Amino acid sequence: MDWSTDFSGKSAFVTGAGGGMGLAAATNLLQAGADVTLFDLKEAPDELPKGARYVQGDVSDNAAVAAAIGAQAEAAGRLDYLINAAGVLWFENDRSAVDMDLDVWDRVFAINLKSVVHTVRHAVPLMKQSGGGAMVHISTIQCLRGDTQPQDAYQASKAGMVALSKSVAIQFAADNIRSNVIFPGPTLTPMQQRWRDDPAKGEMIADYVPLKRLGTPQDMANACLFLLSNAAAFVTGTELTVDGGMTAMP
């Protein structure tokens, strides 16, 4: 059986699903037969997939996350999968930790990292009831290196996601709950609208990638579905780099 289409009867909760990677992954899960709630602060996208539940809410609001995850489990009768795709990259305000506004630091951490605490703490008990489950948290290759034009809150919060994922993976392995991270490389999503506004800049970045193109939301969705699937049943507590070869370069 093709693992990528074997999600019927399963239930998923996806944050950051109003566009980009989250929307692509949620759409693929729905097409593969899963029951899915898409959660995002933005209004529902025009291309909202048929059969989706869309909940507009703030991932940094613990009560809102708890209610939405609980509603998904009640509606589907179970919870099997969690994808944390929510995140912010505030170029104009996120800079070096030496001189950035610490209120910005705190807000970025609330959205990018504390939100993962919110989803995990409410998903784990429900996954236990379902006999196990799998989580995928979307980080970035930027948390693996420094930058002369830093976005320190973004990078540090996404690095924290990796440590939390590893801890969750070990804590709940005996409950058949897996937790993994994806490291996307440069990907053309709404977060990187600047590359659409300046195609020459996007082409320059793409030329730097060994595979000579930018990543797409579908590339990341493919990785998500693999890590959620039974094909990855022996994969937990690790990171899958999906960057066209960038981090393999000297």
Q: What is the pLDDT of residue 1?
A: 38
The type of residue at 185 is: G
For 144-193, the pLDDT digits (tens) are 988 888 999 999 999 999 999 999 999 999 999 999 999 999 988 776 66
Which whole number is the average pLDDT over 55-67? 98
Q: What is the pLDDT of residue 200?
A: 79
Give the DSSP letter of residue 89: -
Which whole number is the average pLDDT over 204-209? 87
What residues are labeled active site?
Answer: 154
C-alpha to C-alpha distance for 28 and 6, rounded to whole angstroms: 11
Q: What is the pLDDT of residue 190?
A: 74
Which whole number is the average pLDDT over 87-113? 94
CATH number of 3-188+215-242: 3.40.50.720
Residue 194 has pLDDT above 70, yes or no: no
Range of lowest pLDDT (19-23, 33-37, 89-93, 135-139): 89-93
The band of 195, judged by pLDDT with boundaries at 50, 70 and 90, is low
Residues in a beta bridge with 242: 184
Q: What is the pLDDT of residue 91?
A: 85
The band of 202, judged by pLDDT with boundaries at 50, 70 and 90, is confident
C-alpha to C-alpha distance for 34 and 114, rounded to whole angstroms: 27
For residue 11, give the H/E element and its range.
strand 11-15
For residue 169, the SS3 value is: helix
